[in-house]
Amino acid sequence: MDLKEIVAISGKPGLYKFISQGRSAIIVENIETKARTSAFASEKVSTLADIAIFTEDEETPLKNIFKIIFDKEEGKETISHKSKPEELKAWFKEVLPDYDEKRVYVSDIKKVALWYNALARMEMLVFDEEEKEEKESKDAAGNEKDETEEIAGSKKEDTGDKE
């Protein structure tokens, strides 16, 4: 899941996928209705990758929070954003126990639930592939290093045998 391509536009409901850059606006597509529209420079546009939630110590990226919810809900939708404020706070406390209750408002929690549910409904929450790719790239880097060490070791042995 690449949250860099998914945007929220202040004043417009739902989430949008970035399509292209225009002269004075960006072209976006609603992820649910597939309707295309323009977001002008005067509108506040935020990519989901740039959004983080305040915790007691630092900020937690939205992607990490979505991963926690995804694991908790086994990939299914979660609590409705229309639930009572007390229920939303209790749910979010389970998801992110150390969130900063003074700086994270119920409206923020509602957006997290709304956005997560929209992405889950559209089956856009894919974490397993990304984790596999990260592990494969780390393994590949590790294997290359090991092979180099083996080659270097065999060269030492070869030179030692020739003397």
Together in a domain, 64 and 113? yes
The Cα 24–Cα 45 span in angstroms is 13
Answer yes or no: is 142 within a domain. Answer: no
Confidence at 134, pLDDT banded by 50, 70, 90: low
Confidence at 31, pLDDT banded by 50, 70, 90: very high
Residue 126: what pLDDT? 82
* Average pLDDT for the chain: 83
Answer yes or no: is 95 within a domain. Answer: yes
Answer yes or no: is 113 within a domain. Answer: yes
Assign 18 to helix, strand or coil: strand
Answer yes or no: is 61 within a domain. Answer: yes
51 CB contacts (<8 Å, ≥6 apart)?
8, 61, 62
Structural domain for 90, as ranges? 51-121
Answer yes or no: is 89 within a domain. Answer: yes
CATH number of the structural domain spanning residue 19:
2.30.30
Tens digit of each residue's pLDDT (9 = 90 or more) over 79-116: 999 999 999 999 999 999 999 999 999 999 999 999 99
Together in a domain, 17 and 67? no
Using the predicted structure, report yes or no on whether residue 60 has a pLDDT greater than 90: yes
67 CB contacts (<8 Å, ≥6 apart)?
127
Beta bridge partners of 45: 9
Total domains, the chain: 2
